[in-house]
Amino acid sequence: MKILVVVQRFGAEVVGGSESHARVVAQRLAKLNDVEVATTTALDYWTWAPHFAAGDSLDGPVRVRRFPVAAGRSATFKDVERHLLFEPHTLDEERAWLAAQGPHAPALLEFLHREGRAYDAILFYTYIYEPTAAGLPLVAERAGLVSTAHDEEPLKLLPYRSLFQLPRAFGFLTIEEQALVRSRFHNEHIPGEVLGIGLDPPPWHDPSPFRERYAPRGPLVVYLGQVSEGKAVDELIADWIAYREAGGGGTLALAGTQRMTLPEREDVVSLGRVSEEDKYALLAAADALVLPSHLESLGIVLLEAWQVGTPCLVSAKNAVTSGQAARAKGGLAYARDEFADALARLLARRDELGTAGKAYVAAECTWPAFDARLEQLVDLVAA
């Protein structure tokens, strides 16, 4: 089949769960189909500033069509966001949401309007941005929506109220996302497939340098991802400091792009972005991975930690990651006032939880299993 994947950012350089999933899907589908990607020239999700050249290129077997961003995120976006999400406002103000948020790429929308009928199936990624919210209605009769939806305030806004009634099929990353979308939009009549993800075996990695450096101080607790308030890392830091002040030991190591100020403490270490080899070495060296984020559509880093037998602590506020941890029996969920207790309970069961998580990933995240679910979604869309 001829398949198009539409996503707001695309490429090996793009760090983002939804965009990374879209790239994996494009590459897997390209093994048996003619696959193209329609995206923008942006790399940064906040400014949407041009980074890649407009036009066509190749990402392995996938043809990538990049369209220019005519307008990025509004300079007043944070004020607009606060007003729309938390204050009385008009429907006209909700209609302006997509333009204020960016990326505004009219050439991409014109391409879908002009060329969309040439594809057997078009998969749209991430409900919240204009390429999906304004693009999917143009080709709804051949569209699938991989919404990566969270239980968040923007999901209530006008641009999305009809969007979730339009696709021929949904691709969900988890059963929790599926339940959220079904309960919010009452669209059970539209078929869907819970995709999950497939994983390659970890690359060669050596955890001993991280163990030698940090383990003598006590348990090594690792966070992997964007170091920002949006990912609740500020809450994690506060919980960690309270744990240490109550007599706990160890080191909290943060790996990922730092977008917030961190306290200057010997027991809080920021490693910045790390290579794939160092990522798995750090996970294998860790006594626990902690993921404090309240909003995730799929906790891929949990799956990666389980690949090397490391158990996980997740926020009890996050239904998705709490559900993953429960299904895998590979971790525990914690509330803000019980971080220290949850960490102690996890460390006491580290081997048991890590082994269960490893077995779960081995069963659920094989490429043949993922490919079968993905082909089912495409068949539903192109039926």
Return the CATH number at 174.
3.40.50.2000
> What angle, rounded to 10 degrees, do the helices at 339-348 and 350-364 form?
80
Pairing outcome for strands 312-315 and 331-334: parallel
**94 and 42 together in one domain:** yes
Return the SS3 of 309.
coil
Compute how many other C-beta atoms are within 10 angstroms of the C-beta atom of residue 131: 25
**352 and 256 together in one domain:** yes
**357 and 377 together in one domain:** no
**185 and 228 together in one domain:** no
Instruction: Give the model's pLDDT for residue 143.
Output: 98
Instruction: Give the model's pLDDT for residue 298.
Output: 83
Strand order in the sheet with 143-146: 55-59, 62-67, 34-40, 2-6, 121-125, 143-146, 169-172, 192-194
**251 and 283 together in one domain:** yes
Helices (H), the chain: 17-29, 77-86, 91-95, 97-101, 106-115, 130-133, 175-185, 208-214, 233-245, 276-285, 300-307, 319-328, 339-348, 350-364, 367-382
**332 and 378 together in one domain:** no
* Cα–Cα nearest to 26, from 64, 54, 53, 69: 64
348 burial type by CB count under 10 A (0-12 exposed, 13-18 middle, 19+ buried): exposed
Number of domains in the chain: 2
**141 and 223 together in one domain:** no
Q: Which residue has the tokens 């949006």?
A: 230
**378 and 317 together in one domain:** no
Rounded to whole angstroms, the Cα distance separating 331 from 174 reads 17
**227 and 179 together in one domain:** no
As a whole number of angstroms, the longest Cα–Cα distance in the chain is: 64
**35 and 62 together in one domain:** yes
Task: With beta carbons less than 8 A apart as the criterion, state whether 160 and 193 touch.
Answer: no
The whole-number mean pLDDT for each consecutive block of 10 residues of the chain, a chain of 383 residues, reads 97 84 96 97 92 96 97 90 92 89 95 97 96 97 95 90 96 94 96 93 92 86 91 95 93 91 92 92 96 87 96 95 95 94 96 97 92 96 86
**63 and 90 together in one domain:** yes
Per the structure, the complete domain to which residue 188 belongs is given by 2-198+366-382
User: How close are the terminal C-alpha atoms of the chain, in Å?
Assistant: 11
Instruction: Give the model's pLDDT for residue 151.
Output: 86
Q: Do the domain assignments include residue 241?
A: yes
Side-chain-side CA neighbours of residue 348 (13 Å): 7
What's the pLDDT tens digit per position in 26-44? 999 999 999 999 999 999 8
Q: Do the domain assignments include residue 203?
A: no
Rounded to whole angstroms, the Cα distance separating 3 from 368 reads 20
Q: Do the domain assignments include residue 223?
A: yes
The single-letter code of the amino acid at 343 is L
